[in-house]
Amino acid sequence: MDFPEELKYTEEHEWIMIEGDIATIGITDFAQEQLGDIVFVELPEVGDILEAGKNLGVVESVKAVSDVYAPLSGEVVEINEELPDEPETLNNSPYESGWMIKIKVADSAALDNLLDVAAYQEFVETD
């Protein structure tokens, strides 16, 4: 399994890449592996305001339907337009082509609540 060191993570298995006040969000390699073949993705709309810890979308696989949670509060500024038509991208490239949304972060102090790669790996191993 792949856990890029430059990313932040959540215990709900989302990854976050921070660039200035923009956070790119997706699901981790561990999450996509647990889900199996992903067949459907539901994303929010550009302009939606997300609240940390609340649902931002849905990922459906042949095994299960899973909510995806917003790791940070903010406004959706971009969505990955390819995912609804090509949900398998989450399986094939969870960290590159499989990003889900980009948000303008409302409170940068909330970044302190995210896990670094070592903490996430430890969490996955004990989960």
**Tens-digit pLDDT profile for residues 29-66:** 999 999 999 999 999 999 999 999 999 999 999 999 99
Residue owning tokens 């890029």: 4
**Domain-located, residue 29:** yes
**Domain-located, residue 80:** yes
**Domain-located, residue 44:** yes
What pLDDT score does 53 carry? 94
**Domain-located, residue 115:** no
| Percentage of the chain exceeding pLDDT 70 | 100
**Domain-located, residue 43:** yes
**Domain-located, residue 112:** no
Boundaries of domain holding 52: 8-107
User: 52 by DSSP, 3-state: which?
Assistant: coil
**Domain-located, residue 84:** yes
What pLDDT score does 95 carry? 97
**Tens-digit pLDDT profile for residues 8-32:** 999 999 999 999 999 999 999 999 9
**CATH assignment at residue 67:** 2.40.50.100
What pLDDT score does 1 carry? 81
Reported pTM: 0.95
**Domain-located, residue 124:** no
Q: Domain total for the chain?
A: 1
Instruction: Report whether pLDDT(127) > 80.
Output: no
| Percentage of the chain exceeding pLDDT 90 | 93
